[in-house]
Each structure stands twice: as C-alpha cells, then as structure tokens.
Amino acid sequence: MDIWLFYLFALVIVGASLGVIGQRSPMHSVLFLILSFGALAALYVQLDSPFAAVAQIIIYAGAIMVLFLFVVMLLNASHEDDDPGARAPVPVGVKVSGCLLALLLLVELTWALTRVGRPAVEKDAASADSVSSVHEIGRVLFTDYAFAFEVTSVLILVAMIGAVVLAKRKV
C-alpha cells in the first residue's frame, strides 16, 4: 500500500514539474508548482516527518506561492509568447539532445543507486524520532545547527539587500 502511494505522489510531482516548465501561461505554471509542492508534502508525511510536511505546505505552497501568484497577477504577464525572444522555435535537435542528456543523468543516478553496497543510513530509534518530533527538530536546530541557523539569517539579510538594490527605482 505504502509503496503504491509513494509512486502515486512521485508521479504527481514529476508530472506537475513538467507542467511548470511546459506551460506558456505563468499563472498555470505557478498552479502546477503548488500541486508539485503539495504532493511533496504528502511524501514527507509518508516518511514520518509531519513537521517537514506542514512546513512545506505552510511556507512554500502557502506563503511563497501565493506571493508568486500576486506578482504574476500584478505584472499582468499573461503569456510568455509576448516575449519576442522566447517565441523563436527551439530546433528539434536541441530538444532531443536535451532529453537524451536528462535521460542519461537519470540512468547514471539509477545505476549508482542500485550499486549501493551497504544500507544507506543506519536506522535507529533515536534518529527516527529526531525527524518525526517537532521537539527533537527544535532541539537539533538550536543546538547542533544553531550556527547554521544564524548564518541563514545573514543569508536572508543579503538576499533582502540584493532585492532592494536590484528593485528600487531611484538609485
């Protein structure tokens, strides 16, 4: 049962992701992205990490994507086709070779994954706990990874400055 659910959601993710890049309308792309994120959240639930699932829904599917939608609507960018540069047709050869490359990478990764010599992560009770319980996550985040957490704040600060620099009208 579990495995079938996994494949179902995985398929949804792949399909939705293809939808994101395949759509001409930005609005549709964003909606597909939300779908993809939702399915990803389902996978997290399956992997016994409800916290990650919730965070995924609230932050990505909720906050960020809604913001995206607003931006798309405000900019009134209806179709990519309006962009003269993007309308130029992509030659078939390029498409084919791109697909082949992606396929090749897929084959490589699959092959590598099938050749794993030993069980990946040793599963013990504690580690299983640590991903499932919010309490554990909080503890790890603010002890072991406290410094990384702080660095993230610097990262966000830089991103903010960057956004301001690039976006503000008058220099």
Partner 1 sequence: MLALIPLFPFIGFIINALIGRRLSKATSGGLACLAMLVSFGVAVVAFWRLLGLPAEARVIDETLFTWIASGRFQAPLTFRLDPLAGLMCLVVTGIGFLIHVYSTAYMHEETDHEYARYFSYLNLFAAFMLVLVLGANLLVMFIGWEGVGLCSYLLIGYWFDKQSATDAGKKAFVVNRVGDMAFIVGMCLAFASFGTLDFRAIAAAVAALPPEVTWGVLSTITLLFFIGATGKSAQIPLYIWLPDAMEGPTPVSALIHAATMVTAGVYMIGRNAVLYSHAPLTMEVVAVIGVATALLAGTIGLAQNDIKRVLAYSTVSQLGYMFLAMGVGAFAAGIFHLYTHAFFKALMFLGSGAVIHALHGEQDMRKMGGLRRALPITYWTFLIGALAIAGVPGLSGFFSKDEILFRTFASGHSVLWVLGTATALLTAVYMFRLIYLTFHGKPRYEGAYEGAQEAHRAHDRAAHAQGTHNHGGGGVLHDAPMAMAIPLVLLAIGSVVAGYVGVPHALGGSNRIETFLEPSFSPPAHTAPAVAGTHAEPGVALSGEGAHAEADAHGATHADTALELTLMVTSVAIALMGIGIATLVWLKRPHVAAALAARVPWMHRLLLNKWYVDELYDATIVQPIKNSSTVGLWKGVDVGVIDGAVNGTGWLVRGSAAGLRLAQSGSVRIYAAAFFVGTVLVIAFYLVR
Partner 2 sequence: MLTDFQAIMPILIVTLSAIVTMVAEAFQPKQERAPLAGFGVIGLIGAAAASVLLWGYDKTGFGVVRADNFSLFVNLIVIAVGLLTILFSPQVIERERIPPGEYYALTLFAVVGMMLMAAATDLLLLFLALEVLSLAVYVLTGIRRAQFQSAEAAFKYFLLGAFSSAFFLYGVALTYAIVGSTRLEEIAATLAVSDQAPDGLVLVAMGLLAVGFAFKISAVPFHMWAPDAYQGAPTLVTGFMATGVKAAAFAAFLRVFLSSFHTLHDSWAPMLWLVAVATMILGTVVGVVQANAKRMLAYSSVAHAGYLLVGLIVGTRVGEAATLFYLAAYAVSTLGAFAVVAVLATEEHPHDRVQDFAGLWESRPGLAALMTVFLLSLGGFPPLAGFVGKWYIFSAAIDAGYVWLAIVGVLTSVISVFFYLRIVVMMYMSDERALVPTPAITRSAVAGLTLALVAVFYLGLLPTHAIELALTSVQGMF
Q: Which residues bind partner 1 (CB under 8 A)?
A: 83-86, 88-91, 94, 97-98, 101-102, 104-105, 108-109, 111-112
| Planar angle of CA 28, 34, 35, nearest 5 degrees | 90
| 151 interface partner picked from partner 2, partner 1, none, CB below 5 to 8 A per type | partner 2
Q: Which is nearer to partner 1, 18 or 109 (CB)?
A: 109
CB 9 within 8 A of CB 42: yes
| 92 interface partner picked from partner 1, partner 2, none, CB below 5 to 8 A per type | none
- Residue 170 beta carbon to partner 1: minimum distance, rounded to whole angstroms: 17
- Residue 135 beta carbon to partner 2: minimum distance, rounded to whole angstroms: 21
CB 14 within 8 A of CB 36: no
| 104 interface partner picked from partner 1, partner 2, none, CB below 5 to 8 A per type | partner 1
- Residue 112 beta carbon to partner 2: minimum distance, rounded to whole angstroms: 4
- Residue 142 beta carbon to partner 2: minimum distance, rounded to whole angstroms: 11
Residue 120 phi/psi, 5-degree rounding, is -55, -95
Pinpoint the alpha helices (H) of the chain: 2-22, 26-46, 50-55, 65-75, 84-87, 92-114, 125-132, 134-142, 146-167
CB 56 within 8 A of CB 80: no
| 14 interface partner picked from partner 2, partner 1, none, CB below 5 to 8 A per type | none
Q: Which is nearer to partner 1, 118 or 123 (CB)?
A: 118
